[in-house]
């Protein structure tokens, strides 16, 4: 599928988002911070990271902005609102909301791959209001109602 992408001024000189391998599901997004600027995420802090691009998804698709597992496992840094939703009618800059759950300050610099974008189809629901819903074995049970143990206790 082709998706129109536009590089913003802050994205000039950075690679466009790209798949890191033939089978990668996500396009890696690059931090479009000003050259030479370091953004330090202190433990517990969050910040919105510009990526220097805007995209126009086809109708019927969204893009999910997801964490990179390497940043999460190495530094405790993840996407706070994961998965972030990029709507097909959004034309602003794609931004990643990162949070540092680790114990050390985390430094972000221009060109760092901070998150990834997975394009996915969207099913739009037509809600039909009803007086009653059909009955099921689960009923209103949830939040661990079937047990939390490995053996389903
Ligand atoms: O991680 C994200 C999440 C969202 N967006 C952009 C694209 C998305 O289409 C728009 C709105 O996002 P969302 O629908 O999650 O925001 P909202 O809080 O519901 O605000 P709005 O009223 O603007 O929809 O912001 C990003 O760039 N990064």
CA 94 to ligand 1: nearest atom = 27
Q: Which CATH architecture has domain 4-121?
A: Distorted Sandwich (2.70)
More confidently predicted of 149 and 78: 78
- Which residue ranges make up the annotated binding site for substrate? 68-70, 81, 85-87
Q: What is the pLDDT of residue 152?
A: 54
Q: What is the mean pLDDT of the chain?
A: 96
Please, which residues have CB within 8 angstroms of residue 58's CB and are 6 or more apart in sequence? 1, 3, 88
DSSP code for 5: E
Please, which residues have CB within 8 angstroms of residue 64's CB and are 6 or more apart in sequence? 83, 84, 85, 86, 117, 118, 119, 120
| 147 torsion bin: left (phi>0), alpha (psi -120 to 50), beta (else) | left
Pocket test for ligand 1, best of 85, 97, 117 (most atoms within 8 A of CB): 85
In this structure, what are the phi and psi dihedrals at residue 142, rounded to the nearest 5 degrees?
-170, -175
Please report where in the chains the tokens 């114990």 appear, as a residue.
Answer: 103
pTM: 0.94
- Distance CA(44)–CA(106), nearest Å, equals 10
Other C-beta atoms closer than 10 Å to the C-beta of 134 total 5
How large is the ipTM? 0.98
Q: How remote is the CA of residue 139 from the centroid of ligand 1, in Å? A: 33
Query: What confidence tens digit (pLDDT) does each residue in 51-93 have?
Result: 999 999 999 999 999 999 999 999 999 999 999 999 999 999 9
Residue/partner pairs of 19-23 with CB below 8 Å, 24 or more apart? none
Pocket test for ligand 1, best of 87, 115, 119, 120 (most atoms within 8 A of CB): 87
Query: What confidence tens digit (pLDDT) does each residue in 35-55 have?
Result: 999 999 999 999 999 999 999
User: Cβ < 6 Å from ligand 1: which residues?
Assistant: 65, 81, 84-87, 90, 94-95, 97
- Distance CA(96)–CA(10), nearest Å, equals 15
């Amino acid at each position: 599928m082709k998706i129109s992408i536009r590089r913003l001024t802050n994205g000039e000189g950075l690679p466009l988002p790209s798949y890191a391998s033939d089978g990668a599901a996500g396009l890696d997004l690059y931090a479009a911070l000003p050259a030479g600027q370091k953004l330090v995420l202190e433990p517990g802090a969050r910040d919105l990271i510009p990526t220097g691009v805007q995209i126009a998804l086809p109708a019927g698709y969204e893009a999910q902005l997801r964490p990179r597992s390497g940043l999460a496992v190495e530094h405790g840094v993840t996407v706070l609102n994961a998965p972030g939703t990029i709507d097909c009618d959004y034309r602003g800059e794609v931004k990643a909301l990162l949070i540092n759950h680790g114990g050390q300050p985390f430094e972000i610099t221009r060109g760092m791959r901070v998150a990834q974008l997975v394009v996915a189809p969207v099913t739009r629901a037509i809600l039909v209001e009803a007086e009653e819903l059909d009955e099921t074995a689960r009923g209103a049970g949830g939040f661990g109602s079937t047990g939390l143990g490995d053996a389903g206790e």
